[in-house]
């Protein structure tokens, strides 16, 4: 290209991926003065301007939210596509992969990634989580503890804006919060029932990344108070919830140090055998299919768990023939995720004089209560439970003629309903892995990823316990029409993939050190879900973001020290 040169494609740092952790890497690097290139494989999405379905009513969609059969043909890998979120869904031909065993892989290939569509749940980890592998003997010991990340949780929370309460629960450390959302009367009733019948189990309002009392730092980001629209996965024009597009990416751009490049499909990381370090990133331009190289002293890998594994596996060199940093042979192994197989519902015949008014963008939450302080079940680790309650309307569809019409047009308030879902920790197993196919490639000429993951006996036992415990908790609360079941959904159905490039103290049993640097290539840093040694039961994104901010601080200090 005219005027193109290696110098024009050289930066201080490169960030692969623009989602929650990639956005934080960009913000922190730019705040430290580094000229930073952010590579996003998908299209650009401008905050506000490109949320094409935001705030639309059902009548404004061609099919009232339903995706037509013709459109659906392009999204066979999506469980239940909807018109509201279709602009953010991935067509099947964009990145085919091989399911050696059934697996759902949910991706967000656009600026901001899955931070535009996430559930926004932000619970901290405690030492009960970080010490789990050492205590229970699975996976490897985490190289960090809660004290190492506590200040970084606070750093992220203040900037992102977290709504919630101070709950004082040791296994779920308190966050820096602004006012939380109110529980419904059925949720409050269930909370009181748990306190009476199960004193060690706590129902709290889940903490979520919503601005309910904007502070100066949020106003500087151009964000305003959450409007409780509950249309968050379409993109929020108010910036009421945290996303890379509303928060960290524009902040990085505002420093003058950021360059954002969409349509940049990362092929591999360039390793220089003579310099014994990574020197850049090789991409395929999505439009032209040209192979381009960009150079930097520091590379952050935040492409999301499975893609980060794929990129490192494809980054081969004389020094690393099995993938970048893969001396241990563990790259791509010990992939894990969260177990959402258990679902429950129940009804309550009370509170006939009450109804819901307005919308709550969060939900209630029961922190993990199994095997927290000691091993007490026949399965390892445990699960948290999400809770959501409300009162819907019902109509009698057994009628006929005028009576049926009137019943459909004028439904009456029904019983209060309570929904429940488990969030279980899957124990990392070596057999659950990803690897590259030797021959099959995608349309960019990049090897397709083989995903080989399955449930274990430990997961099955955990689901059975959730069913038994939830049924008992609902029964003790006096609920009716109790239904708790195993949905038997395949791995990956509820996102939250983690592992494959795990942290650890020993290079023989891990890929990353305690600062998220590759043991054997320290200028490459991985801070998305791929870095996780174990999964905990909490929604993981807050921890990804805190680890990212911490890793940037250390990496930049090292970079500047080496240059001085």
**pLDDT tens, residue by residue, 389-445:** 999 888 989 999 999 999 999 998 999 999 999 999 999 999 999 999 999 999 999
Q: How far is CA 407 from CA 347, 354, 398, 415, 416, in A?
A: 22, 21, 10, 17, 19
Same domain, yes or no: 149 and 192? no
Same domain, yes or no: 280 and 371? no
Q: Token pair for residue 365?
A: 């939450």
Same domain, yes or no: 404 and 505? no
Which residues are within 8 A (CB) of 4 and not within 5 positions of it... i.e. 6 or more apart?
A: none
% of the chain residues with pLDDT over 70:
99
Rounded to the nearest 10°, the torsion over CA 154, 156, 158, 160 is -150
Same domain, yes or no: 35 and 134? yes
**Mean pLDDT in residue range 358-369:** 92
Q: What does the pLDDT look like over 312-332, one tens digit per residue?
A: 999 999 999 999 999 999 999
Domains in the chain, number: 2
Same domain, yes or no: 229 and 256? yes
In the predicted structure, residue 357 carries a pLDDT above the cut 80: no
In the predicted structure, residue 1 carries a pLDDT above the cut 70: no
Same domain, yes or no: 321 and 303? yes
Backbone torsions φ then ψ of 272, nearest 5 degrees: -95, 115
Q: Tell me the H-state helices in 360-418.
A: 401-409
**Mean pLDDT in residue range 270-298:** 97
Same domain, yes or no: 249 and 289? yes
Same domain, yes or no: 471 and 539? no
Kindly tell me the burial class for residue 172, based on how many C-beta atoms sit within 10 Å of its own C-beta (0-12, 13-18, 19 or more): buried
Q: What does the pLDDT look like over 280-293, one tens digit per residue?
A: 999 999 999 999 99
CATH number assigned to the domain comprising residue 251: 3.50.50.60
**To which H or E segment does residue 194 belong?**
helix 185-197
When mean pLDDT is compared across 79-83, 307-311, 518-522, the lowest value belongs to 79-83
User: b/e per residue, 499-523, with b = 16+ CB within 10 A?
Assistant: bbbbbbeebeebbbbbbbbbbbbbb
Same domain, yes or no: 342 and 316? no
> How confident is residue 564, by pLDDT bands cut at 50, 70 and 90?
low
In the predicted structure, residue 352 carries a pLDDT above the cut 70: yes
pTM of the model: 0.96
The domain of 126 spans: 1-163+208-336+428-452+497-564
Q: What is the DSSP letter of 169?
A: B
Q: What does the pLDDT look like over 6-33, one tens digit per residue?
A: 888 999 999 999 999 999 999 999 999 9
> How confident is residue 562, by pLDDT bands cut at 50, 70 and 90?
confident
> How confident is residue 3, by pLDDT bands cut at 50, 70 and 90?
low
Q: What is the predicted pLDDT for the residue at 355?
A: 85
Angle (CA) 141-14-328 rounded to 5° is 35
Which residues are within 8 A (CB) of 527 and not within 5 positions of it... i.e. 6 or more apart?
A: 21, 25, 300, 301, 302, 516, 544, 547, 548, 551
């Amino acid at each position: 290209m005219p005027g193109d040169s290696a110098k024009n494609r050289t930066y201080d740092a490169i960030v692969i991926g623009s989602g929650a952790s990639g956005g934080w890497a960009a913000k922190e690097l730019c705040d430290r003065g580094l000229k930073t290139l952010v590579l996003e494989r998908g299209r650009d999405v401008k905050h506000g301007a490109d949320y094409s379905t935001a705030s639309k009513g059902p009548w404004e969609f061609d099919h009232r939210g339903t995706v037509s059969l013709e459109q659906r043909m392009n999204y066979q890998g999506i469980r239940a596509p909807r018109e509201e979120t279709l602009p953010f869904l991935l067509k099947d031909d964009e990145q085919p992969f091989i399911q050696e065993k059934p697996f759902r892989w949910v991706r967000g290939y656009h600026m901001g990634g899955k931070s535009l569509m996430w559930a926004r749940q932000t619970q901290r980890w405690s030492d009960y989580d970080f010490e789990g592998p050492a205590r229970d003997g699975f996976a490897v010991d985490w190289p960090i503890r809660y004290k190492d990340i506590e200040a970084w949780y606070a750093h992220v929370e203040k900037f992102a804006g977290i709504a919630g309460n101070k709950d004082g629960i040791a296994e779920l450390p308190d966050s820096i919060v602004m006012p939380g959302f109110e529980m419904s009367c059925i949720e409050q009733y269930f909370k009181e029932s748990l306190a009476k019948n199960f004193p060690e189990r706590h129902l709290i309002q889940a903490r979520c990344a919503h601005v309910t009392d904007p502070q100066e730092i949020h106003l500087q980001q151009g964000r305003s108070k959450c409007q409780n629209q509950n249309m968050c996965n379409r993109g929020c024009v108010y910036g009421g919830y945290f996303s890379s597009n509303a928060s960290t990416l524009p902040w990085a751009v505002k420093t003058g140090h950021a360059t954002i490049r969409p349509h940049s499909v990362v092929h591999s990381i360039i390793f220089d055998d003579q310099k014994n370090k990574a020197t850049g990133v090789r991409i395929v331009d999505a439009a032209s299919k040209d192979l381009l190289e960009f150079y930097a002293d520091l590379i952050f890998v935040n492409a999301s768990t499975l893609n980060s594994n794929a990129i490192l596996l494809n980054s081969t060199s004389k020094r690393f023939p099995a993938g970048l940093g893969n001396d241990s042979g563990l790259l791509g192994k010990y992939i894990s995720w969260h177990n959402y197989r258990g679902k429950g519902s129940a009804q309550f015949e009370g509170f006939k004089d009450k109804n819901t008014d307005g919308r709550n963008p969060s939900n209630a939450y029961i922190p993990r209560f199994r095997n927290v302080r000691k091993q007490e079940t026949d399965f390892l680790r445990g699960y948290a439970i999400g809770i959501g309650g409300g009162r819907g309307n019902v109509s009698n569809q057994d009628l006929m003629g005028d009576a049926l019409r009137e019943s459909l047009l004028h439904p009456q308030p029904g019983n209060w309903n309570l929904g429940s879902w488990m969030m279980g920790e899957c124990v990392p197993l070596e057999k659950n892995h990803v690897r590259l196919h030797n021959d099959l490639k995608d349309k960019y000429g990049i090897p397709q990823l083989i995903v080989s993951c399955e449930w274990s006996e430990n997961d099955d036992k955990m689901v059975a316990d959730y069913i038994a415990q939830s049924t008992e908790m609902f029964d003790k609360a006096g609920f009716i029409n109790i239904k708790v079941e195993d949905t038997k959904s395949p791995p990956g159905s509820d996102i939250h993939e983690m592992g494959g490039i795990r942290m650890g103290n020993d290079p023989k049993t891990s890929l990353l050190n305690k600062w998220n640097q590759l043991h054997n290539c320290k200028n490459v840093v991985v801070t998305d879900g791929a870095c996780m040694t174990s999964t905990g039961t909490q929604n993981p994104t807050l921890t990804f973001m805190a680890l990212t901010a911490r890793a940037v601080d250390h990496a930049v200090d090292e970079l500047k020290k080496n240059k001085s």
